[in-house]
Amino acid sequence: MQRLNEYRIMWIMVFFDLPTESKKDKKAYSEFRKQLLADGFIMFQFSIYMRHCPSQENADVHIKRVKNILPQYGQVGILRITDKQFGDMELFCGQKQEKLTPPVQQLELF
């Protein structure tokens, strides 16, 4: 087993822009969002959800799950980055820089 480090640990970010004009569109949007949450994603910003993964192999599993629940209409992007890259992110609230809150440690049992 490879040792976990900031270059092996991955983050998945899912970006989406889905239509919400009709009742059917809103239902599809809501269902997609619920399924992301059920798979362990958390909201980073509106329409941007992220998930921490202990390895690239684990990230592959969750990316495949997202691809299996893609809605019929709209745009969805999936980005995989290392924990090191995620840690280098700069966040601002207005002009004030905010500290990146460390992720909640997730325990996975196999």
Residue 57 lies in a domain: yes
Asked if residue 3 has pLDDT above 60, the reply is: no
94 in a structural domain? no
Does residue 79 fall inside a structural domain?
A: yes
- pLDDT tens across 25-83, in order? 999 999 999 999 999 999 999 999 999 999 999 999 999 999 999 999 999 999 999 99
CATH of the domain at 40: 3.30.70.240
Residue 62 lies in a domain: yes
pLDDT over threshold 80, residue 102:
no
Note whether residue 82 is domain-resident. Answer: yes
Instruction: Supply the DSSP symbol for 16.
Output: E
Number of folded domains that form the chain: 1
In a domain? residue 3 = no
Q: What are the C-alpha distances in Å from 10 to residues 41, 60, 84?
A: 13, 10, 9
pLDDT at 63: 98
Give the span between the Cα atoms of 71 and 82, in whole angstroms: 27
C-alpha–C-alpha distance, residues 91 and 66, integer Å: 26
Predicted local confidence at residue 1, as pLDDT: 46
Question: Which structural domain range is residue 51 located in?
Answer: 10-87
Task: Mention every residue, 6+ apart, whose C-beta is less than 8 A from residue 56.
Answer: 8, 10, 80
**Angle in degrees, CA 16, 22, 27, rounded to 5:** 60
**Which pTM was predicted?**
0.81
Q: Would you state the pLDDT for residue 61?
A: 97
